[in-house]
Amino acid sequence: MSEKKEPGVWDGFKAFLTRGNVVDLAVAVVIGAAFTNIVNSVVKGVINPLVGAIGTKNLDSYSSCLKGPCEKAADGTVSTGVMILWGSVLGAALSFVITAAVVYFLMVLPMAKYLARVEARRKAKEGAQEVIEVSELEVLKEIRDALVAQRGSGHDER
């Protein structure tokens, strides 16, 4: 009797690495990291100065004293009291919304429009091919009907 050898850890690891989705995921991570630099540059270089022209660029200084007296040390940490730093939360939320908007309007929306155009062209091409196939089928049916009619009329002449 021959015993079946279970695949080793190394074989499983090789199978894991050669699966297509691992490579796709690695490419996505690398492209995502590179794209992060572009998004951050747009946000820091264009969007933040525009927001800063309207209001303030740094919301970290906004806070409320929950239990006083509240005092901040020279390095910005709270030395006494309980302070809620709602400005930093608001700044992070705004940064997220701005970054999401940049990603959506500069990448997602144009890519979706491009893919929709490609799909429309593909469907139009398929439709044209289908019309050609239907017309060929109609011609073949007409030929068949003509042959049947000829055979039938030739059969009647005998």
On the question of pLDDT at 86 being above 80, the answer is yes
Lowest mean pLDDT among 1-15, 17-31, 102-116: 1-15
pLDDT above 70 as % of the chain? 88
Query: Given its phi and psi angles, is residue 71 left (phi above 0), alpha (psi -120 to 50 degrees) or beta?
Result: beta
pLDDT interval class at 118 (50, 70, 90): very high
CB 39 within 8 A of CB 103: yes
Burial class (CB in 10 A: 0-12, 13-18, 19+), 59: buried
